[in-house]
């Protein structure tokens, strides 16, 4: 169980769920041409999960000092799992993930796409070892990598299957993935900023320079509040532009996405304690899940 907590198995399950929904709730009902067979798609999910798990491990290794202050009861590396074991597991998962990426890239006839897995793997290490300590940049990088877990399905399943006949359909569905990737990026960006505010004490002791340390907690809170309005505006634009004739979809997005986002923004504005920020972060996590589950509506939206 300690290893499962170390690799953040709940977050990995969300990645798996999203990629499965993209394939079987978005592509399959519309008979969109895809390049990967069942085995290839399974390996893509496994590669993504392995690299993400490795990223979670290296993040914990570098966060031992801050986590000892911020969440002493949840420290795993150095307590229940040695740092050496954790690092070896990090290496193994990276090798497996990148190795699978090499195989998948060649199987779809896009050998240069292999570099995507390498870049993501390296970026996760650089984030944990350096970028996480910088204001905003680290938040942006990790949020982009979260968005990539969505886009990577389109990159390896849609793009290699493009022909002159199906080009328009493939591009349309890739744009849908882009919309969801932007949504995931924005939600995760706000969450990362809130986590920095929540963990400011431990980060300060570790001589990190996150946004709340650089400009103060209150100013960082207002920056997070302003950014939190962006996904609200983006979802409303999406509803008005694409869903204006779909009452079920409009109802779902307003109740399950827009309303919780507005609630979270208001809570950010009035947040004063670590408990408040943790609650808001949890709300965003559920909004992320509900947002991805909206993929199940597309057979009704695009009928």
Cα-based distances in Å from 259 to 67, 141, 269: 32, 27, 16
3-state helix, strand, coil in the chain (%, to 5): 85, 0, 15
Model pLDDT, residue 202: 82
Measured from the Cβ of residue 14, the count of other Cβ atoms closer than 10 Å reads 18
Cα 250 from Cα 23, distance rounded (Å) = 23
Q: What is the pLDDT of residues 83-107, one digit of tens each?
A: 999 999 999 999 999 999 999 999 9
Residues linked to residue 96 through DSSP beta bridges, in sequence order:
none
Which stretches of the chain score pLDDT less than 50? Answer: none
Beta-carbon contacts of residue 250 (< 8 Å; ≥ 6 apart): 239, 243, 244
Cα 286 from Cα 283, distance rounded (Å) = 5
Model pLDDT, residue 139: 95
Decide if 15 contacts 52 (C-beta within 8 A): yes
Can you tell me which residue has the tokens 């302003």?
A: 226
What's this model's pTM, rounded to 2 decimal places? 0.94
Q: What is the pLDDT of residues 236-281, one digit of tens each?
A: 999 998 887 888 889 999 999 999 999 999 999 999 998 999 999 9
Beta-carbon contacts of residue 81 (< 8 Å; ≥ 6 apart): 2, 3, 6
State the chain's mean pLDDT as an integer.
Answer: 92
Cα 95 from Cα 112, distance rounded (Å) = 18
């Amino acid at each position: 169980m300690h290893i499962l907590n170390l690799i953040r198995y709940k977050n990995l399950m969300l990645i798996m769920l999203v990629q499965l929904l993209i394939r079987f709730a978005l592509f399959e009902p519309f008979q969109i041409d895809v390049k990967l067979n069942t085995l290839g798609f399974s390996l893509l999910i496994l590669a993504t999960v392995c690299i993400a798990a490795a990223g979670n491990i290296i993040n914990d290794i570098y966060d031992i000092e801050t986590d000892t202050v911020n969440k002493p009861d949840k420290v795993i590396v150095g307590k229940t799992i040695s740092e050496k074991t954790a690092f070896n597991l990090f290496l193994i998962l990276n090798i497996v993930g990148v190795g699978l990426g090499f195989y998948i890239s060649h199987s779809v006839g896009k050998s240069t796409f292999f570099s995507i897995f390498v870049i993501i793997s390296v970026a996760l290490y650089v984030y944990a070892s350096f970028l996480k300590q910088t204001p905003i940049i680290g938040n942006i990088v990790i949020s982009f990598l979260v968005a990539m877990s969505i886009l990577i399905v389109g990159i390896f399943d849609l793009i290699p299957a493009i022909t002159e006949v199906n080009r328009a359909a493939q591009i349309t569905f890739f744009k849908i993935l882009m919309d969801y990737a932007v949504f995931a990026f924005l939600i995760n960006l706000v969450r990362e900023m809130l986590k920095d505010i929540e963990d400011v004490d431990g980060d300060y002791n570790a001589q990190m320079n996150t946004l709340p340390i650089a400009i103060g907690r209150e100013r960082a809170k207002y920056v997070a509040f302003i950014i939190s309005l962006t996904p609200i505006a983006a979802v409303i634009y999406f509803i008005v532009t694409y869903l204006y004739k779909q009452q079920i979809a409009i109802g779902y997005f307003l109740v399950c996405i827009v309303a919780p986002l507005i609630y979270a923004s208001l809570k950010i504005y009035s947040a004063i304690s670590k408990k408040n920020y943790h609650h808001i972060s949890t709300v965003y996590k559920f909004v992320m899940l509900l947002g991805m589950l909206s993929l199940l509506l597309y057979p009704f939206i695009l009928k």
